[in-house]
Chain A
Amino acid sequence: MPVLEVRNLKVRYAATGPQILKGVEFAVDDSDFCAVIGPSGAGKSTLIRCINRLVEPSEGEIILFGQHVCRLAGGDLRRLRRRIGMIFQEFNLVNRMSVMDNVLSGRLGYTGAWRSLFKAFPREDIERALHLLERVGLQDHVDKRADELSGGQRQRVGIARALMQQPEILLLDEPTSALDPKISRSVMALIKELAEEFKVPVLCNIHDVQLALESCNRIIGMQDGYKKFDGPSRDMRKEDLDAIYAMEVL
């Protein structure tokens, strides 16, 4: 069962600017851990950001949980976004807020104005946040400020924040690019473990081909705005990789 279907997706940032995505089509299954690989400038980040409309597609359709994402606006869009967890390359935490507040902010889509104003989250949210922080191994850093943590720890906060939403799909935008190779692998393993535990499908941009082949069951290869490969990671051959990375776009 596909949770996400993308049809003929095209993106141009400015009316006269270059086309970043040139008609991409694919579907993500509810059991997929799907990697999007490709050289810099291929449109991987743009693709991921279209799905929760942080970037506006200029043409095409995105169907997520049976809803046409591009036709939503205002409150409907926000209600859809809270079902999508996102983990970012540079963690995107609020540095001056505590780890706990950062994790709780994942719940904002479900929190009313007065509760947000006084940061008075319901008891079950706080319990869930504490539980998730324990799951990602940060139980001793709950009240620290986010900027006191190391890179790997910060990304764990990002993971906990995304899971706070009880997401039905996870979008990962280069979740390990800002980390060293060893930490990258442990963070990726943690995401995989949690995604399986909570039964969340994952769509993941990733630079590191080796890591993608190790941790994902499916690969989408992008090059210069086109999809060049789509299939199970075990079917990926060296020729396919060479084709994807044949042309570097700067």
Chain B
Amino acid sequence: MSTATAPMPDRGFDAWLAHGRSRRFKNRAILVLSLAVLAWCFHDTVMFDTDWTRMGGALGVVGTLERFLWLDWSLAPSLVVPALETLMMATLGTLLGCVLSLPVAWFGAANVTPSRYVFYPLGRFLMVLSRSIHEIIWALLFVGAVGLGALPGILAVAMRSIGFISKITAEAIENIDPKPVEAIRAVGGNQFQVMYYGIVPQILPVIIGTIIFEWDINIRRSAIMGLVGAGGLGLVFFRQMAMFNYGGVTLVVLAVLVLIAFGEVVSHYARKAVI
């Protein structure tokens, strides 16, 4: 009998039995309550919210899914340009994100921040802001601001990248070995030289690894940017869906898959090369 969590309150067999009974009762009550909550969720979201007549039985579901299997290869040639556009969006977005991350990481690293009470909280806030807004929301904002095309996609990807890159960079800066920094200060180096000679060489492998990883993720993000009008493969996906050309939709999905696999392979070797 485990007495670690609930010590036996009383001595003797009867007390022991009563204690076990009350604990079993409590466990059962928790189980019943959990099942009730689960049933309630299922009822309200799945039972109540689904258009059962439109689904039309098990055969109907299979039949609808089957339409996606007939690939529309005629679409293939017109996927090359959007695929490249997606790749470029990811690349430019990552680069822009890196540039924008520099000041954010500088502000948000406790040991180098220009001011602990103004810039440090600002840097940390920007990191959270960048990550807490979904890339689709960023894209919607930029489509509104600069219009349709790849540019809003690049901006959205860049904004979304800042959070991760600057957070990892700031943490790398906080974890550096302070001894070389002391040496550069001792030779009379200024603030820039201290950072460039004392800090940057130490954090470079981490940063490059992070950027490659972020680029890999950004390919996925760029692939869906078109859903809100920001160019790339997502736009083709959206059009095929609107035309009910299910075979075309599947082909676009395959193209995204190929692109992501490509990014995966490239980033694997690139990261190996720097580490």
On A, residues with C-beta under 8 Å from B are 52, 54, 78-84, 86, 88, 90-97, 105-111, 113, 116-117, 161, 165
Are the CB atoms of A88 and B196 closer together than 8 Å? no
Given contacts A92-B180, A105-B184, A106-B187, list 11 more A-B pairs with CB under 8 A. Answer: A88-B179, A94-B202, A95-B180, A96-B201, A108-B184, A108-B187, A109-B187, A109-B189, A110-B188, A116-B196, A161-B187
B183 contacts the other chain (CB 8 A): yes
Are the CB atoms of B182 and A88 closer together than 8 Å? yes
B192 contacts the other chain (CB 8 A): yes
Q: Which one of B186, B197, B205 contacts A86 once the chains associate, using CB atoms below 8 Å?
A: B186
Are the CB atoms of B186 and A84 closer together than 8 Å? yes
B64 contacts the other chain (CB 8 A): no
Per the bound structure, the CA–CA distance linking A109 and B189 in Å amounts to: 5
Are the CB atoms of A94 and B180 closer together than 8 Å? yes
In B58-83, the 8 Å CB interface with A consists of none
Number of A-B contacts (CB under 8 A): 75
Are the CB atoms of B193 and A81 closer together than 8 Å? no
Closest chain-A Cβ to B107's Cβ sits at a distance in Å of: 21
B199's closest neighbor in chain A, by CB?
A: A94
B204 contacts the other chain (CB 8 A): yes
Per the bound structure, the CA–CA distance linking A200 and B182 in Å amounts to: 22
Closest 8 interchain pairs by CB?
Answer: A109-B188, A82-B188, A92-B183, A81-B188, A92-B179, A108-B189, A86-B186, A78-B188
Are the CB atoms of A54 and B179 closer together than 8 Å? no
Are the CB atoms of A52 and B202 closer together than 8 Å? no
Closest chain-B Cβ to A144's Cβ sits at a distance in Å of: 15
Q: Which one of A52, A54, A78, A93 contacts B189 once the chains associate, using CB atoms below 8 Å?
A: A78
Are the CB atoms of B185 and A54 closer together than 8 Å? yes
Q: Which one of B187, B188, B192 contacts A113 once the chains associate, using CB atoms below 8 Å?
A: B192
Are the CB atoms of A79 and B183 closer together than 8 Å? no
Are the CB atoms of A117 and B196 closer together than 8 Å? yes
Are the CB atoms of B183 and A88 closer together than 8 Å? yes
**Chain A residues, Cβ within 8 Å of B201:** 94-97
Closest chain-B Cβ to A49's Cβ sits at a distance in Å of: 9
**Chain A residues, Cβ within 8 Å of B204:** 96
Are the CB atoms of A82 and B187 closer together than 8 Å? yes
Closest chain-A Cβ to B135's Cβ sits at a distance in Å of: 34
**Chain B residues, Cβ within 8 Å of A109:** 187-189
A146's closest neighbor in chain B, by CB?
A: B180
Per the bound structure, the CA–CA distance linking A28 and B229 in Å amounts to: 74
